[in-house]
Structure 1
Amino acid sequence: MRLCHNTLKGYLQLLDLKHKPLHDVWLASRSCSNQHRLLAPGAQRPFSIHNIKLAYAIVTRCAFQFAALLWNLHPLRVLLMVALDLFRGVFPAFRGYSQALIIDELQTLISSGNYTWERLVRLLLVELGRVLVESLIDTFATTNENIVQNSARYVMEYKQMEQRVRMDIPALSDPVVRDLFHESDLFVRSCSGVSSFGLLSPFDFIRILSLVSELASHALVLYALSRTGGHRWLLAFSIISTVLPLLLPWMGHHRAYFNDFHIHQEARTAAKQERMRALAHSDPYRPEVILFGLGPWILQSWANARRRMLGIEHAQSMADMKLSSIFLSGVNIPGILTSLQNIPLVIALQSSSASLGSLSLYRNSVQCFLFAARNLVTTVQMAFQSIFLLGAFSAAMEMEPRMQPKKGFALPYRSLPKGMKLEARNLSYHYPGSKTPALSHVNFTLEAGETLAIVGLNGSGKSTLANILLRIAEFDGGELLVNDVDIRRYHPTEYHQHVTAVFQGFSKFNASVKENIGVGYVPDIGHHAAIERAADLAGAAGIVCSLPKGLKTTLDSGFDPTTATAAPGATGPINTGSHDGCGGYHPRTRHGLSGGEWQRIAISRAFMRAHRPEVQLLVFDEPTSSLDAHAQNRVFDTVEKLSRSGSGGPGAIGTGGRTKTVVFITHRLSTARRADKIAMMEHGTITEFGTHQELLQRNGSYAALYRASV
């Protein structure tokens, strides 16, 4: 009765797991025994009843999806891959039998003294033919598997990149979500043989079939040879000699890796691939990736580079493969040498019915059986851990951005003719893990086409408020109305098409000037005229002209996201090299810029789309902090012109009516005077709001700060 109760309880638990979100099942596998802390991402799960149930729940929900992924890519190749793995499992047993026949014939020649080589030569030719056929089958199977594996790896990497660029900052600020994507990334990279659990690829699940087939074939050979009592002592002797330390060192076949890029084009492709991957994964770049809608561009650039890389790897590995190495890889040299060591023992036991071939076959079968059994146990243990990585990958693919409106709640963006109207009502915001609010009871109204200057001391919440206005961060409480509509009803991607910004911590890309500016509006990234126009508006045209290759000059940010190392204080340019297309190779340098020069590049980036008619909000967070007073005035004069309509049609710069709303953060109160409204922020809230003259008349915090600055 107790057993039935436990069985029913376990069945109900499995039913409950089937209905739980996959994210919750994965998270439960990370729970420690005390339930108050989680295992580190990538840590091995204990082999327990609880985790076995969790693994079963993940397999039943994810294995079919993974199998369907392979099937949809190459149905016939997948079937062929499974069939060949089963067939290759029989090779070791057949190899041992063939070599045993040769050794038996050699023993007969030695013991009889009658050296007739005809049968021996025939057996050797058969063995050479077997080696050649086996090697060709292995080569074909490996090639077929590489095609399937590379295709699956590309698709999974693409899905991973696609999901990363979709995620917003609130989602990625959650430590559990970051851990989820970390383990998902481990699963994707394990397709390349890189995993925290060893060199286990998802395709090694299929190799379990090959190991089972090999075990079965060796077991059948051992059973057939040991049925008679006269041969059982050979089996015992073989087992004892196998478990003893081997007399010969392990002679493994070392796989050649082709990581030394001899072709400069391949190196550049690899660098671009990693640079795009870093843009997708790096948190510092996230605001501008979201705001400027860089996701599709990053994804397309990475996809092009990744396809070239996979093609290069496949072509190179096949080109460097020699027929001789294929042939020799099928010869079991350690097995033959081990067998030959037993010739004196067999000659001493000539009165026995045992033969050298029998002894060789016994020893080969026992050794291979034990080796395959050990591999099977290890593979199953590693597969158990990889199941949870598979669960992480599948759960990560189901994640949705936190700020995306729910179905039925979303509304299309509503435009106003004079810009964007902003209204904040009791806005509040807490940074993750912080009990002290970064923003609290923020209230203001900014009419369409007005300019707002936000001032205050460091840490007063100015940049946080800017990020909320840009829909980069999600507020905790209160309301933010955009054109009289709750901003949470707008899809962030659509909303971002109507704004542009310069961030205080703007991104510095290790890329060309053209790319550093062009990412502000990706559709025009290939148009030199548009980029030159943006640079001229920001006062960066002189900087571009002073560089050795103009817009094509590669800039050095001082930080390389592909290696995650910075080079502070480094003097001189960094050598990266360039390819001239004629077989030559010339050193290429990355040029550093000063803080003010980088700031002009960032302003140029924002100006790439600022003049466009659909853009209705311009946000500048300390955009001129590194510029002198004259340069600062020129930038704000340009902003003023960009915010007004002109005679040149939609989007033209002029002195007509306001068509854009401008919000800028500044420490220079002389600049704040240019704004229609000024917001004084203290301790995360707006304490004063009005025009420059109104705030001076109040004689409050703004007036005191202004008098101290003049």
Structure 2
Amino acid sequence: MGRFKRAVTKRKGVFNPEDNTRVKHTRVGVWDLYEEINPDLQHIPGSTWIEKTLEAYACLPYLLRMVRDILSIRSCLVLIGAYGVAEVLSSLIPAASLWYSGQLINILQSAIETRQVDADKLFRICAGRVGCSITRRLLNHALAEIKGPLSRRLKAQYSLHIFRARARLDLPTYEDPLVQRQLDEASSTSGSIAYDSVMMAGQIVATLLQVVTQVSVVAQVLGGQRDGLLLAILCFATSMSDWVGRWNILGSEQVWAATTKDKEYIRMVGMKHVVNNVEHRKEFIAGNLSEFMSKEFEEVSERVGPDNAMDFNDVRRISRSRKHFNFWSLLHDPLRELPQIVFTLRAIQHPASMPVSLASLNLLQQSTSQFSFMVWRFFDQTSSITEQLATVRKLYEVANIPNRIEDGTVPFPEDAQKIQHGIALEFRNVSFRYPGSEQYALQNISFKLSAGQLCVIVGANGSGKSTILKLVSRLYDPDDGQILLDGHDIRTLKLFDLRQAISVLFQDYTHFPLSIRDNIALGDPSNFRNDEHVEAAARLGGASDFIEKLPEKYDTYLDRPVRDYFSGIPEGTKTLFGRNIDYSAVRSAGGMGARAGGLTLSGGQMQRLAVSRTFMRSVVSEDTKVGLLLFDEPSASLDPTAEHDLFARLRELRGNKTMVFSSHRFGNLTRHADLILYMNDSVIVEAGTHDELMKRQGEYARIWMLQAQAFL
């Protein structure tokens, strides 16, 4: 609750809320608002406008890139062309209607002077007015029909752009909270930025065209009448005062931050989260907290007060609305009354012309009403050109976020056939701390493993076992020391080649929200559509037996990413469309629909699927390029029988490949290891074979005996 919400800005320097010489502090309810009041160019006259102009100019290359990208979508070219034509024609309709209205005034003036009416001309003008109305309706329908497909195509294009931008990021970069925020901001609006930009451009052109054509027609219609131009100026001045008072074509990018230290408000919001979030429901019900929390929330709400119990965005919106009073708003009401005053004076001086004056005034009021609506719509849809340009820039900058793990240049392996016999692995004085941590996860680690050997890393949780595997696959780079594969520093190897030569199963494995078939097949994208390989990998991973018993077998989704929608159904309904119903999704989604029930598997079954995915690339494919197998606690969720079977398969299927295996349980795999590393507190305490370590009677032997006694 106390975190700052940053405004989007490219301004260099430091924003310090405690610096009262550069930052203005305002108390708004329970919120403390800090606004920058001292930009870098503050002493230069017009510096704010210059700075905004420079910011807008810096965004132009991104706008041009967006134009090129949009025009490269063939299906969008026709839609944009049709939209442009329809928008231009639609912007001309108000001027055409004004012209016909002016002709009606001329007929009225002629009738007053000659006592005669040209019926044919009157009919044509009336028909023209009706034609304008019909044409406006048709153009509005055409624009609505065009905008839908255009929006969908642009959304699909930029969804691909965001997908690629996210997919290219390495782990340290992706885990950075600032990068996550940048990605979230771009992703939340990616589907609408391009569409909004096209709409903004169309609205700007349409607005300018409407202004020019309407003013021209009004000037032509009323130019020959007594005081006609004066009435036109006064009527349009009202709308222009609104426009000038709100015109902010280069919107402010002021730096600001807000926080609240009000303990009662923070507690009130926290209590809302406890009640609203499903993850707290179990403890909430078990703790009998319903009545107590309701009473506490009522008391806290009373102490906070209704005027303060608001999110900052609501408070800021109210605060901004109070600041709209200015010089132009002060002139607005007097300007609106002036046309009536002028009309009254004119009628007193020239009573005979009163009908014409009344018609002219009605025409002007109608014109200015349309004009005002157009201006309000323009501001509502465009808001700020600078803000929109900054949004476009933000969308494209996510594709240029630099990765922390630099790619190497050396191809690997040098001999594709040699990799079948394993890869030599060596750590030389490697130390590493995770980003943001002051404690070492690994400290001065050194060991050497020859090609084709089996290494088992054992030790307690948190000792550094998993970190070794993450460094080998270059999810992170060490702070000190070297890691060598076949004598090459892994920093020099091409990342794609390095990871292609390694098959890894992490302890904190995940399953993708895809089918079981796809989950396994993603272990080897080159054989993604090879069903025989998928089924073979499932057999080797010990997952085929329970997969075959599932109703949809390999097409089963563990967690279906698309939910079902339905109206209220009888409480006794437990399944729908062949799936269990998860009513928690109904509550969390506000009753819009329930989540399509996901499959519930045991931890052991889930782990077998993960092992199957690893086997997909490491042992199933005949032309595999994998020479190093990394397994991080692959038996943690398996029962003893399944663990024994897994270890037996690992020894049998790895062939001549090098394998590094980590575990906190000392199973029979350690008996066959060429090298055992016993780790504790981020360092290697003991190293050797099983027999060697047992003879030493050290920590490894002590813990091995403790675990062995459990089965005696």
Q: Establish whether TM, by shorter chain, passes 0.5.
A: yes
- CA deviation digits over 1:317-376, x for unaligned, max 9? xxxxxxxxxxxxxxxxxxxxxxxxxxx999997642634542232113222333334444
Q: Aligned pair 1:465/2:468, yes or no?
A: yes
Q: Which residue number corresponds to residue 329 of structure 1?
A: none
- CA deviation digits over 1:438-475, x for unaligned, max 9? 22211111111111111111111211221111222232
Q: Conserved in 2, the CA contact under 8 Å of 1:109 and 1:115?
A: yes
Distance 2:165 2:241 in 1: 52
Give the partner amino acid of 2:607. Q
Q: Secondary structure at the match of 1:605?
A: helix
Q: Conserved in 1, the CA contact under 8 Å of 2:522 and 2:528?
A: yes
Distance 2:573 2:450 in 1: 49
Q: Which residue number corresponds to residue 538 of structure 1?
A: 541
Q: Aligned pair 1:635/2:646, yes or no?
A: yes
Q: Which residue number corresponds to residue 403 of structure 1?
A: 405
Q: Conserved in 2, the CA contact under 8 Å of 1:45 and 1:385?
A: no
Q: Conserved in 2, the CA contact under 8 Å of 1:573 and 1:591?
A: no
Distance 2:450 2:476 in 1: 22
Q: Aligned pair 1:684/2:682, yes or no?
A: yes
Q: Which residue number corresponds to residue 526 of structure 1?
A: 529
Q: Which residue number corresponds to residue 65 of structure 1?
A: 65
Q: Conserved in 2, the CA contact under 8 Å of 1:679 and 1:689?
A: yes
2:209 aligned to which of 202, 210, 213:
213
Q: Conserved in 2, the CA contact under 8 Å of 1:454 and 1:680?
A: yes
The change in CA–CA distance for 1:182 and 1:45 in structure 2 (over 3 A counts) is farther
Distance 2:652 2:347 in 1: 102
The change in CA–CA distance for 1:178 and 1:455 in structure 2 (over 3 A counts) is same
Matched ranges for 1:659-670 at <5 A: 660-670=657-667
Please tell me whether Structure 1 or Structure 2 has the larger radius of gyration of its CA atoms. Answer: 2
Q: Aligned pair 1:513/2:495, yes or no?
A: no
Q: Secondary structure at the match of 1:663?
A: strand
Q: Percent identity?
A: 25
Q: Which residue number corresponds to residue 599 of structure 1?
A: 607
Farther off after superposition, 619-628 or 353-362: 353-362
Q: Secondary structure at the match of 1:599?
A: helix
Distance 2:372 2:673 in 1: 81
Distance 2:94 2:356 in 1: 22
Q: Conserved in 2, the CA contact under 8 Å of 1:106 and 1:120?
A: no
Give the partner amino acid of 2:69. L
The change in CA–CA distance for 1:589 and 1:149 in structure 2 (over 3 A counts) is closer
- CA deviation digits over 1:522-578, x for unaligned, max 9? 343333322221111122121112212222223248xx6999xxxxxxx99875679
Farther off after superposition, 104-113 or 132-141: 104-113
State the 1:393 CA deviation: 2.3
Distance 2:114 2:442 in 1: 99
Q: Which residue number corresponds to residue 370 of structure 1?
A: 372
Q: Conserved in 2, the CA contact under 8 Å of 1:419 and 1:448?
A: yes
Q: Aligned pair 1:618/2:626, yes or no?
A: no
Q: Which residue number corresponds to residue 551 of structure 1?
A: 554
Q: Which residue number corresponds to residue 702 of structure 1?
A: 700
State the 1:103 CA deviation: 7.7
Farther off after superposition, 630-639 or 170-179: 170-179
Distance 2:106 2:162 in 1: 57
Q: Conserved in 1, the CA contact under 8 Å of 2:107 and 2:118?
A: no
- CA deviation digits over 1:171-200, x for unaligned, max 9? 21233333332333245222487xxxxxx4
The change in CA–CA distance for 1:103 and 1:53 in structure 2 (over 3 A counts) is closer
Q: Aligned pair 1:98/2:94, yes or no?
A: no
State the 1:594 CA deviation: 0.9
The change in CA–CA distance for 1:426 and 1:109 in structure 2 (over 3 A counts) is farther
1:204 aligned to which of 185, 200, 203:
200
Consecutive unaligned residues in structure 2, runs of 5 or more: 1-7, 24-33, 40-47, 243-342, 565-571, 580-594
Distance 1:163 1:547 in 2: 36
Distance 1:553 1:103 in 2: 74
Q: Aligned pair 1:446/2:449, yes or no?
A: yes
Farther off after superposition, 476-485 or 503-512: 503-512
Q: Which residue number corresponds to residue 28 of structure 1?
A: 10
Q: How many residues align?
A: 545
- CA deviation digits over 1:63-91, x for unaligned, max 9? 22222223333567656655654454333
Q: Secondary structure at the match of 1:673?
A: helix
Q: Secondary structure at the match of 2:599?
A: strand
The change in CA–CA distance for 1:377 and 1:243 in structure 2 (over 3 A counts) is closer
Give the partner amino acid of 2:468. L
Distance 2:104 2:226 in 1: 24
Matched ranges for 1:88-127 at <5 A: 88-99=90-101, 101=103, 119-127=121-129
Give the partner amino acid of 2:661. F
Distance 2:182 2:210 in 1: 37
Q: Conserved in 1, the CA contact under 8 Å of 2:56 and 2:386?
A: no
Root-mean-square deviation over aligned CA pairs: 4.1
Give the partner amino acid of 1:392. K
Q: Aligned pair 1:172/2:183, yes or no?
A: no
Q: Secondary structure at the match of 1:352?
A: helix
State the 1:400 CA deviation: 4.4
Q: Conserved in 2, the CA contact under 8 Å of 1:695 and 1:702?
A: yes
Give the partner amino acid of 1:215. V
The TM-score with structure 1 as length reference comes to 0.67
Q: Conserved in 1, the CA contact under 8 Å of 2:459 and 2:465?
A: yes
The change in CA–CA distance for 1:76 and 1:482 in structure 2 (over 3 A counts) is same
- CA deviation digits over 1:290-333, x for unaligned, max 9? xxxxxxxxxxxxxxxxxxxxxxxxxxxxxxxxxxxxxxxxxxxx
Distance 1:152 1:235 in 2: 42
Q: Secondary structure at the match of 2:94?
A: helix
Matched ranges for 1:382-393 at <5 A: 382-393=384-395
The change in CA–CA distance for 1:366 and 1:178 in structure 2 (over 3 A counts) is same
Distance 1:515 1:483 in 2: 33
The change in CA–CA distance for 1:222 and 1:101 in structure 2 (over 3 A counts) is closer
State the 1:232 CA deviation: 5.3
Distance 1:705 1:573 in 2: 49
Q: Which residue number corresponds to residue 616 of structure 2?
A: 608
Q: Secondary structure at the match of 1:520?
A: coil
The TM-score with structure 2 as length reference comes to 0.67
Give the partner amino acid of 2:502. V
Q: Which residue number corresponds to residue 27 of structure 2?
A: none
Q: Conserved in 2, the CA contact under 8 Å of 1:514 and 1:525?
A: no
2:435 aligned to which of 419, 429, 432:
432
Q: Secondary structure at the match of 2:679?
A: strand
Distance 2:543 2:173 in 1: 36
State the 1:106 CA deviation: 8.4
1:157 aligned to which of 156, 159, 163:
159
Q: Which residue number corresponds to residue 288 of structure 2?
A: none
Q: Conserved in 1, the CA contact under 8 Å of 2:425 and 2:451?
A: yes
Farther off after superposition, 453-462 or 155-164: 155-164
The change in CA–CA distance for 1:114 and 1:57 in structure 2 (over 3 A counts) is closer
Distance 1:699 1:361 in 2: 104
